Chains A and B, each alone.
Chain A
């Protein structure tokens, strides 16, 4: 009976994290369908190996670790077919100040996708999941110093690629695009 209750509770905890896992997976692989598959596999592995989770408080790190391993397995099996250098996050002619929210989000996502995988994983765990450096170190099995340097490199690169793409010049606040998202 206790086993059944524990299993139910775990299922519920996993279900609550599904959306976050999907967001993280998508930020890593930049492919919604693949992210779906990775999350499915991750959840299946988590259920199968639930006995490995000793402390429910640590479920986030545990899940992210499984997701990380699942993705690494995928990359080993299927080498990426897209040459990242072929993707230019800034290849359209839209003036920067006229970027819609969707365009801006796409550009940021592409810029993130162009980061080397190890940097991409660190920055998404820290910025999207709010993981501490110690947690990232545990999830990705890296020294904290490496986590810090990868994060620094990732943010530096994104800064160079992104900052200013929708910065106001001397004009008043552009209300139009703000209204559009409502």
Chain B
């Protein structure tokens, strides 16, 4: 009897270690496949998986990567706005985790085909939908390309299902939609003419911040402006849209 109880606890801990390894991208294909099958059939295991995602999101949220100057002069208001922007960007991942209080998840096997371990948030697991928000908060050229590649691949893959994609930009990501960024401008134009259900959104709060710094912000014709990127994303997540952070 004692042994049975002890075996059960050990198995439970082993299961949790497997779930951790799954979340951290440490399982091989076979292990992952087995776990996905179990997740389809075991609600408790799915609940545990949600919790691990949440803890992971909280960790990232609580320790934003600050620049050296921010660390040493945290009271300096010059960097306050940057810190706030950074916090906002990092909050999104956390926030997305909290928007799915309902732990009912659809088929994990279905999810697996889209699984990009760095981009998946709990909101991806919420509803069966091909409506996706791609959030871009970085000004790195490779991130721009990654966002556009992701949008293109989703629109191509789910064309028959009426896929719709919003590329929502804030913080440094807004540079993607600025006319000064000639590198991506032509690609945005081409993609917009090819895919009518592709939309680009810039965060007005960020534009305002840039204006305050004396920067002239001109956006490409394809860009729409939302009062707040965060609010925009929240509104759409509530309607069942998926969320991918680049």
Contact = CB atoms under 8 A, between A and B. Distances in A.
Partners in one complex: yes
Interface of A: 18-20, 22-23, 26-27, 32, 36, 101, 104-105, 108-109, 112, 123-124, 126-128, 132-133, 148-149, 151-152, 155-156, 158-159, 162-163, 166-168, 173, 175, 178-179, 181-182
A178 B63 contact: no
A26 B63 contact: yes
Contacts of B84: 181-182
Contacts of A27: 63
A104 B62 contact: yes
Interface string B1-29: 00000000000010011001100101000
B59 A108 contact: yes
B61 A104 contact: yes
B98 A178 contact: no
B59 A128 contact: yes
Contacts of B59: 108, 112, 123-124, 127-128, 158
A173 B99 contact: yes
B116 interface: no
Interface stretch (B47-55, B128-136, B158-166, B186-194): B47-55
Contact of A162 (B16, B55, B67): B55
A151 B19 CA distance: 11
Nearest to A24: B63
Interface in B221-241: 228, 230-231, 234, 238
Contacts of A124: 59, 63
Given A156-B16, A182-B88, A182-B228, A168 B101 contact: yes
A18 B67 CA distance: 9
Nearest to A168: B101
Contacts of B16: 152, 155-156
Given A105-B61, A112-B62, A148-B21, A179 B71 contact: no
27 contacts: A19-B66, A22-B66, A23-B63, A23-B65, A101-B87, A104-B58, A109-B63, A124-B63, A128-B59, A128-B60, A133-B24, A148-B17, A148-B20, A149-B17, A151-B17, A152-B13, A155-B20, A155-B51, A158-B59, A159-B51, A159-B54, A162-B55, A175-B234, A178-B231, A178-B234, A182-B205, A182-B230
Contact of A128 (B51, B54, B63, B67): B63
B55 A181 contact: no
Nearest to A158: B55
A82 B178 CA distance: 50
B91 interface: yes
Nearest to B99: A173
Contacts of A133: 21, 24, 26
Contacts of A173: 99, 234, 238
Contacts of A127: 56, 59-60
Interface in B31-56: 51-52, 54-56
Contact of A152 (B20, B64, B67, B101): B20
A30 B205 CA distance: 32
Contacts of B85: 182
Given A19-B68, A105-B62, A179-B228, 17 more contacts: A19-B65, A19-B67, A22-B66, A22-B71, A27-B63, A32-B71, A123-B59, A127-B56, A127-B59, A128-B59, A128-B60, A159-B54, A167-B98, A168-B98, A181-B230, A182-B228, A182-B230
A107 B2 CA distance: 38
Contacts of B230: 178-179, 181-182
A151 B56 contact: no
B133 to A, nearest CB: 15
B20 A151 contact: yes
A181 B88 contact: yes
A109 B55 contact: no
B95 interface: yes
Contact of A108 (B61, B65, B67, B205): B61
